[in-house]
Every structure is written in C-alpha cells, then in structure tokens.
C-alpha cells in the first residue's frame, strides 16, 4: 500500500503557486539580475526588508531575512545563549527542531505544559519564580506546532506581563498565523508588546513555499546586528534570488489571493481529518480542533502507547509522529501523537485515519435504548 503521510508539516503540492513564482523569478532576474546574482547584505534583499518593515511598522534595520526561519532560530539561539549556556523555557509539547538546537548549544530546555488554550500560565509563573533565570522563553502562540493550539488574547497579555516582570526575553515563533480558517485573528505578542521584549520570527514557508527558504525576524537593533554578523560568519549572504522572487510576488499583489487559496485547501484537509477522527476513532481518544495551521494533536486512548502505535501505523501505511519527539529528552507525550493534515488530499486523509483507527481499540457499541 502507498503510505499516507501525516508526519511532515509540508504544504500539499496544490498549495504551491508554481507558475506565478516562475514568472516572478524570471522577472527579477531580468530586471535586477546583477544584484540578486551577487553577494550582498547579510540581512537580506533590501526591497523585501523594507516591505516587511512597513507591514510591521518598524525600521528596516530591525528586519533580518534568513534562509528559512529555522536557520535564523539557530543563529538567534546561539546569540541569546552565547557565553551562558543555561536554560530555555519552551512549551511542552513544542517544535522538535528547536529542542535539538537548544540541546546542541549545551543548554537545557524546561517544558511548560500546555492547556487546551496554549501555554499554562500558572505553570509558567511557577517556573519563573522558582527556577534559575532562563535565557529566553520560546513560544508558538498561534496554531502551535505540534498541537494546533492558540493562546487567547487575555493570556497573551498575561504572558507578556510575566515575562516583563521577570526580565525574560520572549521569542515568538509565528509561521502559521496567516493560515487561519475561521475565528478572529489575534494580535501577535510582538504587536501587544509594542516591539519591546519580544523577538518575532516568521516565514514564507507555510504561506507561500518552503523551498524558497525565506524566513524573517524582527529584532531590537542590537540583536539584528548580531544576527547579521552571525549570518556573515556562517554563509556570507542569503539567497537573494529567492528573497527577490518573494518580493516580486508581493509587489504583484498575488500574496493575499494565494493565501486565500492555501487556506481553502488546508481547511478542507483539516475538516476531512476531524470528521474522519469523529467517525472512526475509538472512545477514549481526544484531539485538538485547530482553527488554522497544519497540525492537530491526538491524545490516544488509555493503554495505547505512541512508541508501539507509530511503527505499527507505518506498517499499515500511515505515518505520524510520536508525542515524545516534542518534549525535551522525550519526557512527555508518551500517549499522544502529532497528525499533520497539510499534505495529503482529503480522500487520502480519510483513508489514513481509517488505517490508524484499525490499530486502536474498537469503538464500544452505543448502549441500547432503555
């Protein structure tokens, strides 16, 4: 059987605006080839920096473009942990690759649990009061990877208040915010903090194309210079062709229309996954119901362990990621898994959930009417 992937958070092929991007790439090469084909400023392609600066209401010098946001996160974590490899607060569960970056830098990640509505602020406060001061708090407040959960407005304000009181910088990783299917958009932590105490990371990967490798950061001026220096040391300059292609796409007013298209395609997929879970999956399991983004979080029925389920699922032709991958040292998420609905077609999603359900305890028949 052909494997159905719920494992990787990648956009479905239909999401990628191949023709339009081809035209944009050709246009920038013809018009600005001398610039985009040479080395240039480590902070990125100036017109795109300026476009983003205007959109976010900051000076262009505070925007740094990186080759995907993960590379920027790696450089940034290096800067924030320089000379004091200490600890970092993260959500439990959180983005697994960030955990690997932190571990690679010799720092410890402390996981703060999530509730159904994002970071548990009581637990955060306890950790800030009781533990040693962390170098930063890493959070994905909107359509979180891996849980799909979103932190409500009140909680955003409280989080900022706690971080400020304890003098802890916040790194807000926000690649999914624009992939909203329903509900009211929320202000970012960066917006609520009016640009101080919060570093904002975002990306064109989930809203345009991951292969372009265009991510960006909004930073205080000092940190933006440090990030540019780290970028120069590491790779001299980013890919200007990709950044200029994104800028051309934005300048042609193609972005919003494309975003609507991506939202519709992913919404269909989320709906297919939710209704298939509802229909097929045994009592005792529960799952998040994201209003956007790429993922949902499945809490398995009692007695089912992700470590056993994941390899059996792979044999049955469906891949998913064990919850343990999203906790520091794998300590947590033993009875949970992340399911990405972003990639497979809706009919394949239904089939994938059916395959998964066949490995779970059978649904109890409804009690006969009295």
Ligand X SMILES: Cc1ncc(COP(=O)(O)O)c(C=O)c1O
Binding residues for ligand X (CB under 6 A): 9, 68-70, 95, 140, 145, 173, 175, 203, 205, 210, 215
Q: Which residues have CB under 8 Å from 173's CB, separation 6+?
A: 69, 73, 95, 98, 138, 139, 140, 201
Q: Nearer to ligand X by C-beta: 216 or 287?
A: 216
Alpha-carbon dihedral of residues 360, 361, 366, 368, nearest 10 degrees?
A: 160
Least Å distance, CB 5 to ligand X, is 14
In the block, residue with structure tokens 């570093």: 199
* Residue with Cβ nearer ligand X (140 or 244): 140
- The residue behind tokens 């392609």 is 45
Closer by beta carbon to ligand X, 204 or else 276: 204
* Structure-token pair, residue 170: 């916040």
Minimum distance from residue 295 beta carbon to ligand X (Å): 8
Q: The sheet that has 321-322: what strands, in order across it?
A: 286-287, 295-299, 336-340, 321-322
Q: Which residue is nearest to ligand X (CB)?
A: 68
Burial call 205-231: b when 16+ CB within 10 Å, e when fewer: bbbbbbebbbbbbbbbeebbebbbebb
**Per the structure block, which two tokens stand in for 256?**
């919003």
Q: Tell me the closest approach of the beta carbon of residue 301 to ligand X, in angstroms.
A: 27
In order of 14, 119, 186, 197, the CA distances from 191 in angstroms are: 32, 18, 10, 11
Structure tokens at 238: 């980013």
Question: Considering only CA atoms, which of 17, 53, 29, 11 is closest in space to residue 242?
Answer: 29
- At closest approach, how far in Å is the CB of 370 from ligand X? 49
Please state the closest distance from residue 129 (CB atom) to ligand X, in A. 27
Cβ nearer to ligand X, comparing 140 with 313: 140
Q: Which is nearer to ligand X, 217 or 287 (CB)?
A: 217
Of 237 and 359, CB closest to ligand X: 237
Residue 162 beta carbon to ligand X: minimum distance, rounded to whole angstroms: 21
Nearer to ligand X, 205 or 245 (CB): 205
Q: Any idea which residue has 């999914």 for tokens?
A: 176
Q: How far is the CB of 69 from ligand X (least distance, A)?
A: 3
């Amino acid at each position: 059987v052909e494997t159905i992937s719920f494992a990787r958070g990648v956009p479905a092929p239909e999401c990628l605006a191949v023709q339009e991007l081809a035209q944009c790439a050709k246009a920038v090469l013809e018009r600005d080839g001398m610039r985009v084909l040479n080395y240039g400023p480590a902070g990125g392609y100036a017109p795109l920096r300026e476009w983003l600066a205007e959109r976010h209401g900051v000076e262009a010098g505070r925007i740094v473009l990186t080759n995907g946001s993960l590379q920027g996160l790696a450089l940034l974590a290096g800067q924030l942990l320089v000379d004091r490899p200490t600890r970092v607060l993260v959500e439990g569960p959180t983005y697994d690759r960030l955990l690997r970056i932190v571990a690679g830098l010799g720092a410890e990640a402390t996981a703060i649990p999530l509730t159904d509505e994002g970071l548990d602020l009581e637990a955060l406060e306890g950790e800030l009061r009781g533990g040693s001061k962390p170098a930063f708090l890493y959070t994905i407040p909107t359509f979180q990877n891996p849980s799909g959960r979103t932190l409500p407005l009140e909680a955003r304000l409280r989080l900022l208040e706690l971080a400020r009181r304890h003098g802890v910088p916040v790194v807000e990783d926000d690649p999914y915010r624009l992939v909203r299917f329903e509900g009211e958009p929320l202000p970012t932590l960066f917006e609520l903090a009016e640009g101080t105490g919060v570093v904002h990371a975002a990306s064109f990967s989930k809203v345009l194309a991951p292969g372009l490798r265009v991510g960006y950061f909004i930073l205080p001026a000092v940190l933006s210079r440090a990030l540019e220096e780290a970028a120069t040391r590491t790779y001299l300059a980013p890919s200007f062709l990709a950044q200029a292609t994104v800028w051309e796409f934005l300048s042609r007013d193609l972005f919003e229309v494309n975003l609507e298209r991506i939202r519709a395609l992913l919404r269909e997929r989320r709906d297919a996954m939710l209704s298939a879970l509802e229909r097929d999956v045994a009592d005792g399991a529960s799952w998040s119901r994201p209003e956007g983004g790429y993922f949902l979080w499945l809490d398995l029925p009692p007695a089912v362990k992700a470590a056993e389920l994941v390899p059996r699922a792979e044999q049955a032709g469906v891949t998913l990621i064990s919850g343990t991958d999203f906790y520091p040292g794998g300590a947590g998420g033993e009875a949970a898994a992340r399911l990405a609905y972003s990639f497979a077609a809706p009919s394949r999603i239904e089939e994938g959930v059916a395959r998964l359900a066949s490995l779970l305890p059978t649904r109890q028949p409804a009690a006969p009417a009295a």
